[in-house]
Structure 1
């Protein structure tokens, strides 16, 4: 797992603000916006951190998503500003620290799941929240824990064959 740095925190803040601003500036539902964003070219630029070389602001990101996919009026369910901010932050923090693409992170945990976890998890450190989400899904992505798990399986197999 990669340790987050200053650039990573800037990216988390930028994405969180874009997600929050989408409530007032986008016509689609929050889930439609999030799906489009997480699979967009701008998300790929955030993944490779090349967006840091530009002067794009949160509202510019919303415009780029609309340009890529077209304006959508689909869906009516809007999350709260706080939920969207947290979801945007958690998605980016997850992508950076586990070195996953936005699309892969989106496949692992959907916006509806994150929304349900907002109240119990929003006060946790982002790394703790992500760890709990992965643990609940049975996806231990911590290398040390995974090696320990594999060793235990190997040990059981060896003990059984004697």
Structure 2
């Protein structure tokens, strides 16, 4: 896990404010969150240097709407507090654990994260993220090399190997 510095906290706050600003749109809150988390602006926020761009919460919302087009789909609006928390938490997750917004959204979508608001909104963001990941069976701090070694050990312990020839006589197995 990476320590969140002042720039990281500023990004978290900016995204939280953008999520709140989305209440002014005509689409449902979950629609905006899905679009945002898969947007070009979220991808740029995932990379370093986004704060050097001159962006306001209103500008970010307008950019997402420009990318996907105006929508009247859905009518369920989340509260400003829920949206603020969700925006902050999603960005904190991306900054602290180096994951893309898109990947995080695949783990926990807008409606599911909203359902966790009352249980987790008073927790430190890192603790909330760890609890969500744990409930999904995701190890956030797992070293990829250790993960690979563990997989190789499981294969070795099963002693179940399959060998395939590529090409030749129809790719027969031995």
Offset of residue 49 of structure 1: 3.1
Name whichever structure is richer in helix by fraction: 1
| Corresponding position of 1:112 | 111
Equivalent positions of 1:2-41 (< 5 A) are 2-23=2-23, 25-41=24-40
Partner of 2:126: 127
Where in structure 2 are the equivalents of 1:3-152 lying within 5 Å?
3-23=3-23, 25-143=24-142, 147=146
Higher relative contact order (CA 8 A, sep 6+): 1
Shift of 1:45: 1.2
Pairwise CA distance, 1:154: 4.4
Query: Which has the higher mean CA deviation after the structures are superposed, 65-74 or 43-52?
Result: 43-52
Distance apart, 1:143 and its partner CA? 2.3
Q: Where does structure 2 lack aligned partners over 5 or more consecutive residues?
A: 160-174
SS of aligned partner of 1:42: helix
Q: Rg bigger for which structure?
A: 2
Aligned length: 159
CA RMSD of superposed structures (Å): 2.4
5+ unaligned residues in a row in structure 1: which ranges? none
Poorly superposed stretches of 4+, deviation over 6 Å: none
CA distance in 2, matches of 1:54, 1:117: 32
Give distance in 2, aligned partners of 1:142 and 1:20: 30
Aligned equivalents of 1:41 and 1:154: distance in 2?
40
Distance 1:107 1:51 in 2: 23
What's the offset of the Cα at 1:27? 0.8
Shift of 1:140: 1.4
Normalised by the size of structure 2, how large is the TM-score?
A: 0.82
